[in-house]
Amino acid sequence: MQATQQYIQQNRERFLAELLDWLRIPSVSADPKFKGDVQRMAEAVADQLRATGAENVEVCPTAGHPIVYGEKLISPELPTVLVYGHYDVQPADPLELWESGPFEPVIKKTELHPDGAIFARGSCDDKGQVFMHIKAFEAMSANSELPCNVKFMIEGEEEVGSVNLGKYCEANKDKLKCDVVLISDTSIIANDVPSVTVGLRGLSYVEVEVTGPNRDLHSGIYGGAVANPVNVLCDMISSLHDENRHIAIPGFYDDVEIISEAERAEMSKAPHNEAAYKTALNIGDTMGEAGFTTHERTSIRPTLDVNGIWGGYIGEGAKTVLPAKAFAKISMRLVPHQHPDKITELFAKHFQSIAPPSVSVEVRPHHGGFPVVTPTDTPEYQAAHKAMEATFGKAPIPMREGGSIPIVALFESVLGVKSVLMGFGLNSDAIHSPNEHYGLFNFYKGIETIPHFFSHYAVLKSK
């Protein structure tokens, strides 16, 4: 792998310039306004795959945004790694909070990224991390040092629930046949504290609509006698947590995996500086479920959060109105053994039951996803461990994370394969937020580490 590593060093500047070209394409999957850009982005991924030596490259149309596929199959004797990632990004709003254009990448130094970071939507989540895989592949291919067969499947709908990718997997089981899925779409603890992700939370996402009177009313004439849906929605939402920040939906915790004290003690060894955490977010204190640490609250425990709430008059000045309707978008992050459909069902039933007769309530489910836990006694985990150990100079810590990648559970149930979650972002990289960025250190470290994964995996898998 020496030639591969040397090639990476010699082509650093070009790799970065090419990534910046990707980041200029506003591939926002949620907003139909960007449909053409999302298509253009899919073509750009396909172009990179072709240029770096992948074969049978296709931009596969779906009912939504395309899936980009490519492969390099060198020998049926060798294991096959399926690289999954996404080229779509979250909307950039609120635009006014960006210090530079979300699709005009710039490199700036930060406290955590003294060597510089690329500021752009998708730099970390997930274009920058997908790009590392293509460049690692280019380096291995160009030097005839590819130790495994590779398949790439890069989708354009991860940020909107991967619905069409699920169907694509069902329909293409043979084509996608592989020994493991390799994904870089998660975080490490810090640039000097490497980690491999071994768990992701699941998700149940609902929208609620509370309706009161049949029209907006004068809040003086009717206020006090007729239920205000915004007031009622706030009451209902606040009743969803008790005084211990425990979720008060009957049955919500029934299936929650109980983690042994020994395992919790092991998890607590991952470094966490509560004071620095608070300072970085400019909060006076953290808040969460009683009896659990910050890291536990964001990994092994389920949550319920309002993601958006609206209703009534929000324009300039004051308008005295008792609104007819109120709305909220609510997400629940789930942990092992919780079933997203069951949780959605429990939520809907409970939310209906707590509505006073003065309003009516509708609950509309959005996308969901199962949580995942990946084992550590597998060739793929060990390969990721050894790869990171080689490039970071210290052993990575296995760590469960709070975010969700719903398709990972499907890879297991539909394709029958496990995934390895070897991401290189930092939780402070502001993914989904204004000023998202990705460290140059992280970008290059990823490109260097991936070939190590491939060579260790080839050896460990054949044992």
Least separation in angstroms between CB 369 and ligand BES: 6
CB of residue 252 to Mn ion, shortest distance in Å: 25
- The contact pattern for ligand BES, residues 404-443, with x = CB under 6 A and - = no contact, is xxx-------------------------------------
| Residue 361 parent element (H or E) | strand 360-369
Q: Containing H/E element for 395?
A: none
> Whose Cβ is closer to Mn ion: residue 197's or residue 449's?
197
Residue 97's region, left for phi above 0, alpha for psi from -120 to 50, else beta, is alpha
**Tally of CB atoms within 10 A around 13:** 8
Interaction residues for ligand BES, span 58-87 (CB under 6 A):
none
Q: Is 26 in the site for ligand BES (CB under 6 A)?
A: no
Measured from the CB atom, the residue of 160 and 322 that comes closer to Mn ion is 160
Stretch that binds Mn ion, among 117-125, 246-254, 326-334, 451-459 (CB under 5 A): 117-125
For residues 252 and 443, which CB has a smaller minimum distance to Mn ion in the complex? 443
Sites for ligand BES among residues 96-135 (CB under 6 A): 125-126
Nearer Cβ to Mn ion, position 404 or 455? 404
- Choices 99-107, 154-162, 295-303, 348-356; region in contact with ligand BES by CB under 6 A: 154-162
- Token digits of residue 115: 């060597």
- Selection from Mn ion, ligand BES, none that 436 binds (CB < 5 to 8 A by kind) is none
Q: Residue 37 binds which one of Mn ion, ligand BES, none, with CB within 5 to 8 A depending on kind?
A: none
Q: Where are the beta strands (DSSP E) in 66-119?
A: 67-72, 80-86, 106-108, 117-119
The CA distance from 62 to 167, in Å, is 9
Q: Which residue number, 126 or 436, has a Cβ lying nearer to ligand BES?
A: 126
Q: Does position 159 bind ligand BES by CB under 6 A?
A: yes
3-state SS, one letter per residue, for 179-191: CEEEECCCEECEC
Closest chain position to ligand BES (CB): 403
Pair of tokens at residue 355? 């509505």
- For 336-376, where are the alpha helices, taking DSSP H only? 340-353
Q: Does 448 bind Mn ion (CB under 5 A)?
A: no
Separation of alpha carbons 427 and 438, rounded Å: 10
- Coil, helix or strand at residue 265: helix
- Of 121-129, 229-237, 256-264, 413-421, the window that binds Mn ion (rule: CB under 5 A) is 121-129
Find the length of the chain: 463
Beta bridge partners of 321: 218
Decide: is 125 part of the binding site for Mn ion (CB under 5 A).
yes
Runs of H (alpha helix) within 287-417: 294-297, 340-353, 379-392, 407-410
Contacts to ligand BES from residues 311-350, by CB under 6 A:
none
Which of 138, 155, 158, 436: binder of ligand BES (CB under 6 A)? 158
Indicate which single residue of 37, 71, 88, 126 sits in contact with Mn ion (rule: CB under 5 A).
126
- Residue 367 interacts, among Mn ion, ligand BES, none and using kind-specific CB cut-offs from 5 to 8 Å, with ligand BES
Alpha-carbon distance of 434 to 189, in angstroms, equals: 21
Residue 204 near ligand BES by CB under 6 A: no
Of residues 391 through 410, those in contact with ligand BES by CB under 6 A are 401, 403-406
For residues 432 and 124, what is the distance between their CA atoms, to the nearest angstrom? Answer: 10
Give the 3-state DSSP-derived string for 190-209, with helices as H, strands as E and coil as C: ECCECEEEEEECEEEEEEEE
Q: How far is the CB of 224 from ligand BES (least distance, A)?
A: 40
Q: By C-beta, is 185 or 448 nearer to Mn ion?
A: 185
Query: Which residue lies nearer to ligand BES by CB, 161 or 379?
Result: 161
Residues 157 to 186 in contact with Mn ion, rule: CB under 5 A: 185
Both tokens of residue 4? 């591969």
- Residue 336 binds which of Mn ion, ligand BES, none (CB < 5-8 A, kind-dependent): none
Question: H-helix or E-strand containing 128?
Answer: helix 127-142
Phi and psi at 49, nearest 5°, equal -65, -45
- Residues serving a catalytic function are 88, 158
Residue 211 or 404: the one with the smaller Cβ distance to Mn ion is 404
Supply 114's token pair. 């003294």
Beta strands 425-426 and 187-188 are parallel
Q: Which residue has the tokens 């607590």?
A: 268
Contacts of 37-41 with C-beta under 8 Å, sequence gap 24+, read 38/65, 38/66, 38/88, 38/156, 39/65, 39/66, 41/87, 41/88, 41/156
- Footprint on this chain of ligand BES (rule: CB under 6 A): 125-126, 158-159, 161, 185-187, 200, 203, 367, 369, 401, 403-406
Give the residues lining the site for Mn ion (CB under 5 A): 125-126, 185
